[in-house]
């Protein structure tokens, strides 16, 4: 029964490209229109057809990690590109929709992230060996979407461009007090303090990130300008001229969206500006891939635009600018994957081969989702007053306009 259902499922899904599937009994069937790419998969475990029908994303990811599912020439990028492209076109078959509805109904429980649970979720991913992140990130350890203002940019250049693009949106002036929610390893905070003359308070729930960020501030001679705290953003007090949050909102969870933006509102000065940079998607509200939820980002969810803006609207915040970055993250992930693969022998020494297969799957699945499906990056520029930012975007793209704006604000 399960093999027949899987055949129906794969027939529905793979209509573009050439997909060859060898079942556990040795039977091989071909799917698609015979075009490119051409990918061949073999299932070695007789329980896989049932598992894939019940939860395809989880079962395929686990099968690849465990070696019970293999690909010809280990063409993981080809398979994920083909699968995600077809998923975006076809969607789920009719018999799978009740399972999708059940998953959607339970998403609030999976995304319920009070402070204690948030810390445990963060530790799952960000308290891995610090050396792991050195294997694939840029030197500043920017673990979020880079900004490829030119297609020939290096990863380091594109990450620098991202930070300065955000800094311009914050309309910084020397002496301002800035809060960095989810400060990571401190790169954004240190850049803002060093290059823009502001003081920064950064908060994170990751002990590894907090320790390294604090050490980096001391080594850069910026400890008097930047302070990092191991604490939940909901525990922060005081008033800040600017608030920045890059790659943290994905960990908040839908049940806490209003609480998050209420916190931003309450901590922001009356004439202040906030910049929230987050992964999102252009489809209606949905759920997190269960494999990603289990192995990579427990409690995580990337919002639909409607979910974020609804929470913004009820918290007396003005959306001064909403920018959508489309393929920038696909390019970022491509750079990360290439760097990881160049250092995979060291990754195996740190962990094991199963972990390396998991990390490869994570990076390539995310790249395919940004490249072929609805995943994007949103940047929300928010304020408590409509006139807190200029009426046009000229200050972002013109050095002369930016200089004029700085002088006018002095």
CA dist., res. 322 & res. 277, Å (int): 10
Asked if 69 and 60 touch (Cβ cutoff 8 Å), the reply is yes
Note the residue count of the chain. Answer: 410
User: Per DSSP, what are the bridge partners of residue 382?
Assistant: 274, 319
Asked if 35 and 16 touch (Cβ cutoff 8 Å), the reply is yes
In order of 15, 78, 103, 202, the CA distances from 84 in angstroms are: 12, 10, 19, 36
Residue 221, SS3 per DSSP: coil
Asked if 267 and 121 touch (Cβ cutoff 8 Å), the reply is no
CA dist., res. 59 & res. 51, Å (int): 6
Spot the catalytic one: 145, 320, 356, 366: 366
**Distant-in-sequence contacts of 261-264, Cβ < 8 A, 24+ apart:** 261/311, 261/312, 261/314, 261/315, 261/317, 261/382, 262/315, 263/233, 263/234, 263/236, 264/181, 264/315, 264/317, 264/382
Beta strand 69-71 pairing with 268-281? unpaired
Beta strand 318-325 pairing with 375-383? antiparallel
Reported in sequence order, the residue ranges of 125-185 that DSSP labels E, i.e. its strands, are 177-181
A 10 A CB-CB count for 100 gives 13
CA dist., res. 117 & res. 253, Å (int): 11
Q: How far apart are the first and last CA of the chain?
A: 73
CA dist., res. 30 & res. 22, Å (int): 9
Does the annotation count 366 as an active-site position? yes
Q: Which residues of 337-370 are buried (b: 16+ CB within 10 A; e: fewer)?
A: bebbbebbeebeeeeeeebbbbbbbbbbbbbbbb
CA dist., res. 264 & res. 405, Å (int): 25
Asked if 195 and 167 touch (Cβ cutoff 8 Å), the reply is yes
Q: Indicate which residues carry an active-site annotation.
A: 366
């Amino acid at each position: 029964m399960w093999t027949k259902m899987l055949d129906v499922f794969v027939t529905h899904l793979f209509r573009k490209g050439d997909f060859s599937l060898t079942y556990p009994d040795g039977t091989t069937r071909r799917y698609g229109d015979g075009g490119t790419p051409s990918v061949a998969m073999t299932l070695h475990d007789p329980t896989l057809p049932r598992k894939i029908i019940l939860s395809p994303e989880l079962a395929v990811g686990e099968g690849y990690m465990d070696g019970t599912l293999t690909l010809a020439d280990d063409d993981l990028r080809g398979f994920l590109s083909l699968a995600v492209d077809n998923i975006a076109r076809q969607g789920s078959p009719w018999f799978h929709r009740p399972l999708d509805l059940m998953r959607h109904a339970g998403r609030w429980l999976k995304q319920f992230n009070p402070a204690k649970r948030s810390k445990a979720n963060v530790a799952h991913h960000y308290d891995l060996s610090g050396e792991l992140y050195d294997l694939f990130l840029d030197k500043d350890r920017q673990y979020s979407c880079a900004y490829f203002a030119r297609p020939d940019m290096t990863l380091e250049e594109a990450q620098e461009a991202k930070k300065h693009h955000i800094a311009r949106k914050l309309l910084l002036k020397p002496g301002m007090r800035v809060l960095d929610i989810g400060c990571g390893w401190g790169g954004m905070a240190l850049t803002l303090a060093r290059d823009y003359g502001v003081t920064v308070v950064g908060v994170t729930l990751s002990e590894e990130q907090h320790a390294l960020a604090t050490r980096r501030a001391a080594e850069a001679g910026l400890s008097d300008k930047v302070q990092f705290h191991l604490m939940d953003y909901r525990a922060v007090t005081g008033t800040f001229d600017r608030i920045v949050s890059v790659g943290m909102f994905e960990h908040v969870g839908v049940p806490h969206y209003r609480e998050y933006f209420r916190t931003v509102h309450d901590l922001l000065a009356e004439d202040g500006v906030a910049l929230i940079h987050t992964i999102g998607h252009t489809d209606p509200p949905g759920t997190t891939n269960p494999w990603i939820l289990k192995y990579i980002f427990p409690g995580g969810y990337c919002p639909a635009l409607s979910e974020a803006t609804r929470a913004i609207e009820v918290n007396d915040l003005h959306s001064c600018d909403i920018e959508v970055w489309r393929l920038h993250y696909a390019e970022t992930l491509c750079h990360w994957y290439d760097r990881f693969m160049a250092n995979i022998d060291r990754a195996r020494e740190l962990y094991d081969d199963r972990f390396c297969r998991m990390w490869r799957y994570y990076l390539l699945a995310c790249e395919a989702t940004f490249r072929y499906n609805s995943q994007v990056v949103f940047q929300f520029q928010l304020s408590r007053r409509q006139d807190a930012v200029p009426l046009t975007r000229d200050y972002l793209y013109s050095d002369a306009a930016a200089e004029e704006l700085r002088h006018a604000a002095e």
